[in-house]
Amino acid sequence: MYGGGYIQEEKQEATSPIDDAQKLAEFEARIDRGEKIEPHDWMPADYRKQLIRMIEQHAHSEVIGALPEGTWITRAPGFRRKLALIAKVQDEIGHAHLLYSAAETLGKSREQMINDLLTGKSKYSNVFNYPAKTWADVTVIGFLIDAGAIVNQVANSKGSYGPYCRALERICYEESFHLKQGHDAFITLATGTKAQHDMLQDALNRWWKPIMHFHGPPDKISEHTAKLMRWKVKMATNDDMRNQFLDMYVPKILEIGITIPDPNLKKNEATGQWEFSDPDWDEFKRVINGDGPCNAERLAVRQYVEEHGKWVRTAMMNPNQKVVIPFA
């Protein structure tokens, strides 16, 4: 009760599948009052499970997302772009760290999470399984993928789990710089020479499908989604977030003379909903299950890094130290 930290194994008890009805009612009442849930609180096993899955995936996405961009640091056009890209990539790794820490408070260790990433057991954002072939790809990622992520992160920062909200607040602050530098680079190419403009248009043409995939498959309002939204694990449906993203960013793409490679994309003013061609959800499923252009390369890079850093980590380990779940 007043103990200093708590050891990982103790957590198992709290993930029992049998949820106490009275505790569940108190838990839901707390969320309804707009209060946050903290790590040591009682929580339904499914709440814990879904949060770990979501925060862990988010953390992996930051780590893997830094790879296509990191590749371009040496080739960024100009000193200022290079500095900005270095700062952005460092931020992304910092975000991963904040998120792993938040997930750890739920009882899964960082080592376990990274192992699950390496074996392909846990996923990361599907967009990072596509290559960044030119500088314009980095520009599209920096502007539109980050924009999509911000829509998602701003929504989730109002969720019910305290540590995740705290991490996201800081992340959103740094993301505002990512978005702005991406927008700046995007405008520079769009309004530059014909070669620059064409390179950007080509990159956007290739990235449009992954961008439409970004917020996940269309909602089937299932019992499951409804429960996660009631528990404020999910704050908006995939379709709502995609719609909000299109509302905000389609005008910003069109206003500088770039076209969107979907003739059916238009806003239905009556419903407020965007209509678009099927972005090929079969491809989405195929790629997320490992068969994308870069899946193997992304994981191979992580493997390489873990393997070659292992001797440093183990050399500094103190076998007498016990792993304790972080506090907040």
Partner 1 sequence: MSKIPLNTPVLDPRIKRVDLESTYGTTAIGENEHWISWEVFHQKKRGDQHVHVGIVHAPDAQLALLFAKEQFGRRLACVNLWVTKSSDIFSFSYDDEDIFDNATAPEKQYREASGFRVMEKINRYKKSKQKA
Contact 61, 174 (CB under 8 A): no
Phi, psi of 280 (to 5 degrees): 65, 75
Q: Give the number of other CB atoms < 10 A from CB of residue 145.
A: 24
CA distance 13 to 274: 46
- Pick from 29, 83, 248, 296: which binds partner 1 (CB under 8 A)? 296
Phi, psi of 220 (to 5 degrees): -110, 110
Q: Which is nearer to partner 1, 255 or 291 (CB)?
A: 291
Draw the binding track, 7-46, toward partner 1 (x: CB under 8 A; -: no contact): -------------------------------x-xx-----
- Distance (Å) of CA 224 to CA 12, 125, 234: 23, 21, 11
Considering only residues 72 to 101 of the shown chain, the ones binding partner 1 according to CB under 8 A are 74, 90-91, 94, 97-98, 101
Q: Which is nearer to partner 1, 104 or 143 (CB)?
A: 104
- Under the binding rule (CB under 8 A), the answer on residue 114 touching partner 1 is yes
In three-state secondary structure terms, 266 is strand
Draw the binding track, 203-242, toward partner 1 (x: CB under 8 A; -: no contact): ----------------------------------------
- Pick from 176, 191, 277, 303: which binds partner 1 (CB under 8 A)? 303
Contact 122, 113 (CB under 8 A): yes
Q: Which is nearer to partner 1, 20 or 255 (CB)?
A: 20
- Pick from 167, 200, 212, 288: which binds partner 1 (CB under 8 A)? 167
Helical pair 79-104 and 45-70, crossing angle rounded to 10 deg: 160
Structure tokens given for 179: 């978005």
Q: What are residue 273's DSSP bridge partners?
A: 268
Looking at 180-188, 256-264, 267-275, 299-307, which segment touches partner 1 (CB under 8 A)? Answer: 299-307
Q: How many residues bind partner 1 (CB under 8 A)?
A: 61
Could you tell me if residue 290 is left (phi over 0), alpha (psi between -120 and 50 degrees) or otherwise beta? left
Interface contacts to partner 1, rule CB under 8 A: 1-5, 38, 40-41, 67, 71, 74, 90-91, 94, 97-98, 101, 104, 109-111, 114-115, 118-119, 131-133, 166-167, 173-174, 291-297, 299-301, 303-304, 306-307, 310, 313-314, 316-319, 321-328
